[in-house]
Structure 1
Amino acid sequence: MRNFLIRWILNTLALWVVAQLYGGVNFAPGSTLADYLVAGLVLGLANALVRPLLLLFTLPLNLLTLGLFTLVVNALVLLLVAQATALEVVGFAGAFWGALLLSIVSWVLDVVFGDGAKVE
């Protein structure tokens, strides 16, 4: 349970950082902390449930592009999260670059807070 809460907070923090750094991804005006937390939760669920299915269905294309199609899948997941939450994404290009930046920010947060977020 502790690991779930840490991942949830890190996802929320990563979304907040991306929304601050990149204009293609932001939250609706007047968004509250609850909106950020819901978006972080939906992102975690989408990454756990939807993303693996998308990667499985696009496996031939992913192999053909040597894994680069994963960036497109990540953008699609971010667009899906935006449809379900107060997160706003400006087009597919905004989702693509936002997902790339979100991956980098998440990686940095994992490096900084990694020991507490790993499943034992």
Structure 2
Amino acid sequence: MTNFLVKTLANAAALAVAIWLVADITLTGDSTGRKALTLILVALVFGLVNIIVKPVVKLLSFPLFVLTLGLFTLVVNALMLLLTSWLCDKLDLSFHVEGFWTAVVGGLIISVVSWAVNLALPDND
């Protein structure tokens, strides 16, 4: 349970940094509390996408990972961010990623920030 909470907080922090740094990744809301709640819900959706879909995509695209020496990870992260944006649109959450290259930059930022936050937060699992 603690590990799930830590991962969700790390995802929320990473998404917040990506929203702050990249103009075409948007989170709208009428108040700060509403934005914070939406950010937590988006982090949950992003976590579920990474738990359920990402391993399948990585397994099916394993030859591309080997061929590109791991650089295909950027494409997979971008696709997971775009899938999260699409799911948030279907769930009526106000999170949107504008295009593929925006998702690549956002995915890179989210990966780095999530890694740093996971180092800083305790992990009791």
Which TM-score applies when normalising by structure 1? 0.89
Q: Do the aligned partners of residues 118 and 67 (structure 1) sit closer, same or farther apart at CA in structure 2, a change above 3 Å counting?
A: farther
Q: 2:58, 2:76 within 8 Å by CA — same for their partners in 1?
A: yes
Q: 1:7, 1:117 within 8 Å by CA — same for their partners in 2?
A: no
SS in 2 for 1:32: helix
1:3 equivalent in alignment to 2:3:
yes
**1:48 corresponds to which residue?**
51
- What is the identity, as a one-letter code, of the residue corresponding to 2:53? V
**1:64 corresponds to which residue?**
67
- What is the identity, as a one-letter code, of the residue corresponding to 2:66? L
**1:28 corresponds to which residue?**
28
Once the two structures are superposed, the pairs formed by residues 81-100 of structure 1 within 5 Å of their partners are 81-85=84-88, 86-100=94-108
SS in 2 for 1:88: strand
Looking at structure 2, the residues matched to 38 and 53 of structure 1 have their Cα atoms a distance apart, in angstroms, of 23
1:32-57 CA distance string (max 9 Å, x none): 32211110001111111111110011
How many pairs are equivalent?
117
SS in 1 for 2:70: coil
SS in 1 for 2:26: strand
SS in 1 for 2:69: coil
Matched residues, percent identical?
38
SS in 2 for 1:23: coil
Looking at structure 2, the residues matched to 89 and 118 of structure 1 have their Cα atoms a distance apart, in angstroms, of 33
Q: CA RMSD in A?
A: 1.4
Looking at structure 1, the residues matched to 68 and 18 of structure 2 have their Cα atoms a distance apart, in angstroms, of 26
**2:81 corresponds to which residue?**
78
Q: 2:17, 2:109 within 8 Å by CA — same for their partners in 1?
A: no
Q: 2:25, 2:98 within 8 Å by CA — same for their partners in 1?
A: yes
Unpaired runs of 5+ residues, structure 1, are none
**2:116 corresponds to which residue?**
108
- What is the identity, as a one-letter code, of the residue corresponding to 1:61? L
SS in 2 for 1:117: coil
